[in-house]
Structure formats: structure tokens, C-alpha cells
């Protein structure tokens, strides 16, 4: 498994050329004669591999290059440079055998036909993907059960709620049992219960079929629940590739200490203990460098009348935000140990 | 070939279901396809009657029969892809099509044929009604009637490939309305939609010989009406095959370039 990565990309690059012009009529006329263009590095020489059966979280702020990368891997975009293979195919050649073995789910794109019942989209999908009857029936039954689609299948797509539609969208995308899944924000806009259900479903599918999953999400709960490994990109560059738990240590080596004081704050100088990030009646939250945790908590307990004290890892949201608030720093970049199979 | 059969069956099924959803829109499209040739029929019939029963080599009855046949051929071969392509690129629907393990042209062909079959239920009676109303008389030869079937199929396919190719201009610019309009005007003249080509000046007729449009519409109409010699038929079939092959190659070429372009500016 380790020798043969399902997804392997090597210095993959995508440069968009965008037209630019100043505001105003004169600029508009000038642009008729001479176009000004600018190159934007949407994806800048990123490399990584994903082994069979892995679920990898692909993180980054808006415009980081995640969707561009997924589009290259699913064959919608031609890269400007670098190489990529998925299941041994070069995605942008759009080999039909490749297309039959992978799927791309994007939050806003739909495969479902708007005006006809969901089950009829399924039928069309079956024909186009040439799914044999013996495989199709069990697949529909399984997906119906796992995603609780029973009551939805006979309804036209336009009558479904956003969450229901997303579930059906995912089901359609998986009818042909793809072995590689690219999921771009699969839980976007869904309520917490629905998010949880879809998460559980992705785990189930992965366990049952051994499929490889690369997913992007803005919801850290998704990432925490699904991905042991994360790849972080920012401004098209790879910032981190490794265990989710290692991310905090690597880029934000802090602990959060919450202290409840018995007699209120009384204007005590708290900044000496660490960075004060929240404060309410008798309760403070400090951010402390990881290495100082023991000494600072010792001082807090000795010097203040502490009623309660808890030490926590910072929430992953904060870690990610911390990563993105800094410009790409080569010193934290790629954790090459995990780039297996090279 | 047979491998595509279940896929086409799936497409037909879906497109019929969708059309039942859009009955009204479908009828309006159909009405357009009936009214246009009917308009020319009425105009030319009036002109012919005023000129003592004929214009050039066409009698009043010839005009009536000609435009009714044109209505059928036009219905059989027309496509709406040039309007649809822009929409599918703008709305990102094209990406969904690209992810499928089949060339997107197949669903369009199936859609088109599905529409034609469904609307035959209205088109058929309309043709009979018009023939009765205008007292049309038509005596085709058996062999031209038999030849009409392959001629119409070739006309449909060549028109499909050419218009599908033209529609792909949408990869380069989304403002294709002007181009579509120009295409319609050119077709109107050189396909025989406006008037039988033999009534045009010699130079227009020779130009029409060299363009694909007459082989899409005028030629099948002539075959249906039995106004061709066996030699005309062979020449026409040759021209159709030539334009079909050319259309296919052009489609492949533009498609490849278009996909690259689409992929470059962001799907």
C-alpha cells in the first residue's frame, strides 16, 4: 500500500493569466489595443502523495488553490506545470476508464436533474456509467440506507432542501463505486445534524470500499472527525503535510489556559503570565507558549487565588487561522516524512 | 456502436421526462418551426397566384408542397445547441458533463432526437392539415421516397456537427448572439428556407452549391418531392458525406482546443 500511492503529484503548478485594466473609459479604450495581463499562481509547485484508503483533509483559506488542485486531479483543468497521476492515469487526459473510477463532488455543482425525481437521475447515471444491474441495485439500497434517502428518491430535485439535495448529490456521485473521491466542501451550508450524518457516511464508505478520499472543508469538525492527515496550502504553496495532531505543535505551539479566580480579577496584572485572549467575570483565558505551560501554571496557582484551572490544546480553528495569518514560511513547510511512496 | 445503446436509451428516457415537464416551452418552440415555413408558403402562394399561377419553374401547388416539405425537413434537422452552449458554460454545467465518461455530444443528439419524436405527434397532423387546407398535390417516386430516409439522416447529422462546432465558439466568447443571428441569416438564404434555390440568381445558386446549407435542407426537400434525377441524388449524397466528415473533423478539432481553453481560464 505504501509503495503505490493512489494520488501522486509532483511540483504541480497552475498559473492563471488574468486580464487587468484600470477603471474608467480611457482605460477601457486603451485595453482594446493593448491588453494588460497578470499571471496568478493559483497552485505553486505543490507535491504530495496519498495512499490507498487514506482520508486526507485539504485545508486552506478561500483562494488558496484547493479547488484548482481538485479540478486538476479530476481532469477539469490542465496544469501549467508539474506532474500528477491518479490511479495511474494522467487526469487531464480524461481517460474514460479513469472517469469511471473517480468522482468529484462540489458544493455548488449539481449532477441532479432539476425537474425530475432523484431516482431518475440515478437511472441515467447508471446508463452513462454502465453500471451492471447486479451492482446497481445493491448500491442504491446501500446509499439509501446510509444516507436515509428513502423518502427523497421519488421527489423532483427542485423540491428538496439544500441538505437533502446534497445527500442525493453525494449518493449520485457514488453510485458507480468510485475508488477515488474528491470532495470539495461536501457539508457546506448544512446543519450540524446533516453534517454529522455525511461525515459518518464518508467514514463508512471509506471503510467498506477502501476508497481514497481527498476532501476540503471549512468546518474543522469535518476535518477532525475524518482526517488523520491534513495538507495545508496557502497562496498556492504547500505549508504543511502531516498528522492533524502534529499541525498544532508545528505551527502554533501554544496551550490555552483557562483560570477561574475566587475573588474576581481586581485589576491584577495578568499580561505577565501570557497573552490574554478572553476575560469575563472572574474568568480569564491565556495563551501560553507550550514549553512554558508547567512553569506558568505553577506561578498562577501560587500567586493567584485560583478556584479552577484547565489547560487545553488550542482549537484547531485557531491553529489554522494562525497558520493563515502568517505569510508562507519555508521553515514550517512540508513534512516530508508523510509524503510516502516517493 | 451497440455499446452506446443503453446509454442512448437512458438519455431518451430522461429527455422525454424533461420535455413532459416543459410542455408549454416545447409547444412554443414547435410553433416557431411551423409558423416560419407557413409564412413563406403563404407569401409565395400569393405571389404565384397574382402572377398567373407560377413563378419561374414553380407552380402555386409546387410552392405549397415545397414549403410543407421544408417544414418537415427543417423540423427533422434543426438544433438549439447554439443557444444552449453559452448557458452551460456560464453556469458551470459543462464541468459536470466533462466529468462523465462519455462525450457530451451524445446527450445532445439523444435530446434532439427525443424532441423530434415527441413533437412528431403534433407535426404529423399539422402537415396533413396544411396539405388538406391548401389542397396540395404530391406524387413522389418510390425510389426518391426511399432515398429520403438516408438523405434526411445525413442532413440531420451534418447539421448537428456543424452547429455543435459553431456553438463551441462560446468557449472563446460568451457573446455569441450576433454570430448566431448571422448564421441564421446566411442559412435562410443558402438553404432554400426563404425560397426555392432555383428562383435565386445564378451566382447565389453556385455559391449555395459550395456551402453546406443547401445539403442540410434544400436537397432533402427536393428528394422528398421527387425533383431530382438519380445523378442529382448521387451528387447530393456525396456532398452530404463530404460535409458530414468535414463537420465531424472540425467538431473534434474545435472541441479539443475548446476544452483546453476552458481548462485554462477555469472551469
- Option in B9, B98, B101 nearest A76 (CB): B98
Nearest to A259 by CA among A288, A300, A313: A300
Model confidence at A49, in pLDDT bands (50, 70, 90)? very high
The larger pLDDT score, comparing residue B50 to residue A34, is at B50
- ipTM for the complex? 0.85
Q: Sketch the domain layout of chain A as residue ranges.
A: 7-248, 253-313
Instruction: Give the DSSP letter string of A211-240.
Output: -EEEEE-S-HHHHHHH-SEEEEEETTEEEE
DSSP B168: G
| pLDDT of amino acid A339 | 36
Rounded to 10 deg, the angle between the A133-147 and A162-174 helix axes is 150
**Of A203, A249, A179, A172, the residue nearest A57 (C-alpha):** A203
Residue B98 and residue A94: Cβ atoms within 8 Å?
yes
pLDDT of residue A329: 46
- Closest CA relative to residue A237, chosen from A157, A330, A143: A330
CB A166 within 8 A of CB A198: yes
Q: Point out the least confidently predicted range of A34-43, A130-139, B27-36, B245-254.
A: A34-43
Candidate from A73-82, A202-211, A259-268, B89-98 with smallest mean pLDDT: A259-268
Q: Where are the extended beta strands (E) located within A111-228?
A: 180-184, 212-216
- The yes-or-no verdict on residue A73 having pLDDT over 50 is yes
- A115–B10 C-beta distance less than 8 A: no
- Mean pLDDT for all residues in chain B: 92
How many angstroms separate the CA atoms of A209 and A222, rounded?
20
DSSP designation for A341: T
User: Above pLDDT 70, what percent of chain B?
Assistant: 98
Residues with Cβ within 8 Å of A271's Cβ and at least 6 positions away in sequence, in order, are none
> For A265, which DSSP code?
-
Question: Which residue of A78, A96, A115 is in closest CB contact with B263?
Answer: A78
CATH superfamily, domain A7-248, is P-loop containing nucleotide triphosphate hydrolases (3.40.50.300)
Name, in order, each residue with C-beta under 8 angstroms of A30's C-beta and a sequence gap of 6 or more: A21
The pTM of this model reads 0.83
- The side-by-side arrangement of strands in the sheet containing A229-234 is A102-106, A180-184, A212-216, A55-59, A229-234, A237-243
Hey, is A124 helix, strand or coil?
helix
CB contact under 8 A, A111 and B263: no
A16 contacts in chain B (CB < 8 Å): 264-266
Q: How confident is the model at residue B63 (pLDDT cuts 50, 70, 90)?
A: very high
| CA–CA separation, A219 and A188 (whole Å) | 8
**At a CB cut-off of 8 Å and minimum separation 6, what does A277 contact?**
A256, A285, A286, A287
Mean pLDDT of A16-39: 78
Residue in B6, B263, B266 closest to A127 by CB: B6
Structure confidence at residue A109 as a pLDDT band (50, 70, 90): low
Assess whether pLDDT exceeds 80 at residue A317: no
The predicted model gives A245-269 an average pLDDT of 77
Alpha-carbon distance A142 to A171, whole Å? 10
CA of B111 to nearest chain A CA: how many angstroms apart? Answer: 13
Q: Of all residues in chain B, what percent are helix, strand and coil, respectively (each to 5)? A: 80, 0, 20
Chain B hits for A75, CB-CB cut-off 8 Å, are 98-99
Contact A127 B21 (CB under 8 A): no
Q: Residue B137: pLDDT above 70?
A: yes
At A265 the pLDDT is 65
DSSP helix/strand/coil, B195: coil
Query: Contacts of residue B10 in chain A, CB cutoff 8 Å?
Result: 123-124, 126-128
What is the DSSP-derived secondary structure letter of residue B228? Answer: -
Q: What H or E segment, with its residue span, contains residue B106?
A: helix B105-133
Between residues A26 and B60, the one the model is more confident about: B60
Strands A212-216, A229-234: pairing is unpaired
Axis crossing angle, helix B218-225 with helix B230-265, rounded to the nearest 10 = 150
CB burial readout B145-172, b (16+ within 10 A) else e: eebbeebbebbbbbbbbbbbbbbbbbbe
What gap in Å lies between CA B1 and CA B161, rounded to an integer?
18
Which positions in chain A touch B98 (Cβ < 8 Å)?
Answer: 75-76, 94
- Fold classification of A253-313 is Alpha-Beta Plaits (3.30.70)
* Closest-approach residue (CA) in chain A for B9: A127
Residue-by-residue DSSP string for A29-53 = HHHHHS-EEEEEEEEEEEEEEE-TT
> How many angstroms away from the CA of A201 is the closest CA of chain B?
23
Residues A79 and A12 sit within 8 Å (Cβ to Cβ): yes
Task: Show Cβ contacts of residue B29 under 8 Å, excluding neighbours closer than 6 positions.
Answer: B80
The per-residue pLDDT for B24 is: 86
Q: Is the pLDDT of residue A3 over 70?
A: no
**Beta partners for A106?**
A184
Strands (E), chain B: 54-55, 58-59
Binning chain A into helix, strand and coil, the percentages to the nearest 5 are 40, 30, 35
pLDDT higher than threshold 90 for residue A234: no
Nearest C-alpha in A relative to B104: A128
Report the distance separating Cα A279 and Cα A132, nearest Å.
62
Least confident of A99-103, A224-228, B158-162, B246-250: A224-228
Per the CB < 8 A criterion, the answer to whether A13 and A81 are in contact is: yes
Which of B99, B105, B171, B255 should one mutate to test binding to chain A, selecting the residue with the greatest count of A CBs within 10 A? Answer: B99
B101-110 residue pLDDT tens: 999 999 999 9
Taking a C-beta distance cutoff of 8 angstroms, is the pair A211, A181 a contact? Answer: yes
Q: What φ, ψ does residue B31 adopt, rounded to 5°?
A: -60, -40
Say what the pLDDT of residue B69 is.
Answer: 96
Q: What digits encode the pLDDT tens for the residues B195-210?
A: 999 999 999 999 999 9
Of the candidate ranges A161-175, A251-265, B120-134, the one whose mean pLDDT is the lowest: A251-265
Amino acid at each position: 500500500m505504501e509503495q503505490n500511492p493512489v494520488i501522486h503529484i509532483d511540483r504541480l503548478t497552475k498559473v492563471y493569466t488574468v486580464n487587468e485594466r484600470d477603471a474608467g473609459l480611457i482605460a477601457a479604450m486603451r485595453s482594446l489595443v493593448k491588453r494588460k495581463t497578470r499571471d496568478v499562481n493559483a497552485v505553486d509547485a505543490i507535491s504530495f502523495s496519498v495512499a490507498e484508503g487514506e482520508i486526507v483533509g485539504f485545508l486552506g483559506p478561500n483562494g488558496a488553490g484547493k479547488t484548482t488542485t481538485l479540478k486538476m486531479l479530476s481532469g477539469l483543468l490542465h496544469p501549467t506545470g508539474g506532474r500528477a497521476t491518479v490511479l495511474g492515469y494522467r487526469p487531464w487526459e480524461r481517460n474514460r476508464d479513469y472517469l469511471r473510477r473517480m468522482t468529484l463532488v462540489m458544493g455548488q455543482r449539481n449532477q441532479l436533474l432539476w425537474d425530475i425525481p432523484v431516482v431518475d437521475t440515478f437511472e441515467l447515471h447508471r446508463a452513462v456509467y454502465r453500471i451492471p444491474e447486479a451492482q446497481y441495485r445493491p448500491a442504491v439500497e446501500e446509499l439509501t440506507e446510509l444516507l436515509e434517502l428513502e423518502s427523497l428518491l421519488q421527489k423532483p430535485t427542485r423540491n428538496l432542501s439544500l441538505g437533502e439535495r446534497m445527500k442525493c448529490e453525494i449518493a449520485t456521485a457514488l453510485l458507480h463505486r468510485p475508488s477515488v473521491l474528491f470532495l470539495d466542501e461536501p457539508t457546506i451550508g448544512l446543519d450540524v445534524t446533516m453534517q454529522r450524518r455525511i461525515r459518518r457516511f464518508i467514514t463508512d464508505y471509506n471503510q467498506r470500499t477502501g476508497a481514497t478520499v481527498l476532501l476540503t472543508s471549512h468546518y474543522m469538525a469535518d476535518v477532525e472527525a475524518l482526517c488523520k492527515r491534513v495538507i495545508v496550502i496557502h497562496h498556492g504553496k504547500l505549508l504543511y503535510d502531516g498528522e492533524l495532531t502534529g499541525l498544532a505543535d508545528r505551527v502554533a505551539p501554544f496551550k490555552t489556559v483557562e483560570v477561574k479566580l475566587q475573588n474576581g480579577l481586581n485589576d491584577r496584572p495578568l499580561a505577565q503570565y501570557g497573552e490574554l485572549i478572553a476575560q469575563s467575570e472572574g474568568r480569564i483565558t491565556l495563551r501560553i507558549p507550550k514549553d512554558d505551560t508547567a512553569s506558568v501554571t505553577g506561578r498562577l496557582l501560587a500567586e493567584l487565588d485560583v478556584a479552577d484551572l484547565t489547560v487545553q490544546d488550542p482549537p484547531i480553528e485557531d491553529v489554522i487561522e494562525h497558520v493563515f495569518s502568517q505569510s508562507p514560511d519555508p521553515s514550517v513547510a512540508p513534512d516530508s516524512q508523510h509524503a510516502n511512496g516517493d | 456502436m451497440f455499446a452506446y445503446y443503453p446509454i442512448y436509451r437512458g438519455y431518451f428516457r430522461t429527455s422525454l421526462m424533461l420535455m413532459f415537464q416543459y410542455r408549454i416551452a416545447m409547444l412554443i418552440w414547435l410553433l416557431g418551426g411551423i409558423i416560419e415555413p407557413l409564412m413563406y408558403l403563404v407569401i409565395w402562394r400569393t405571389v404565384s397566384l397574382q402572377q398567373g399561377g407560377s413563378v419561374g419553374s414553380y407552380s402555386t401547388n409546387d410552392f405549397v408542397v415545397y414549403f410543407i416539405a421544408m417544414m418537415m425537413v427543417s423540423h427533422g434537422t434543426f438544433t438549439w445547441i447554439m443557444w444552449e452552449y453559452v448557458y452551460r458554460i456560464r453556469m458551470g454545467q459543462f464541468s459536470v458533463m466533462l466529468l462523465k465518461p462519455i462525450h457530451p455530444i451524445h446527450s445532445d443528439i439523444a435530446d434532439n432526437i427525443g424532441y423530434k419524436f415527441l413533437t412528431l405527434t403534433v407535426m404529423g397532423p399539422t402537415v396533413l392539415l396544411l396539405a388538406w387546407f391548401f389542397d396540395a398535390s404530391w406524387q413522389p417516386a418510390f425510389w426518391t421516397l426511399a432515398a429520403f430516409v438516408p438523405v434526411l439522416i445525413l442532413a440531420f447529422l451534418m447539421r448537428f456537427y456543424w452547429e455543435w462546432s459553431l456553438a463551441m465558439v462560446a468557449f472563446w466568447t460568451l457573446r455569441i448572439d450576433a454570430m448566431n443571428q448571422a448564421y441564421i441569416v446566411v442559412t435562410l438564404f443558402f438553404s432554400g428556407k426563404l425560397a426555392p434555390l432555383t428562383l435565386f440568381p445564378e451566382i447565389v445558386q453556385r455559391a449555395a452549391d459550395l456551402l453546406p446549407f443547401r445539403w442540410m435542407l434544400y436537397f432533402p426537400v427536393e428528394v422528398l418531392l421527387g425533383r431530382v434525377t438519380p445523378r442529382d441524388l448521387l451528387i447530393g449524397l456525396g456532398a452530404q458525406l463530404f460535409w458530414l466528415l468535414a463537420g465531424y473533423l472540425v467538431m473534434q478539432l474545435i472541441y479539443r482546443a475548446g476544452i483546453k481553453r476552458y481548462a485554462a481560464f477555469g472551469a
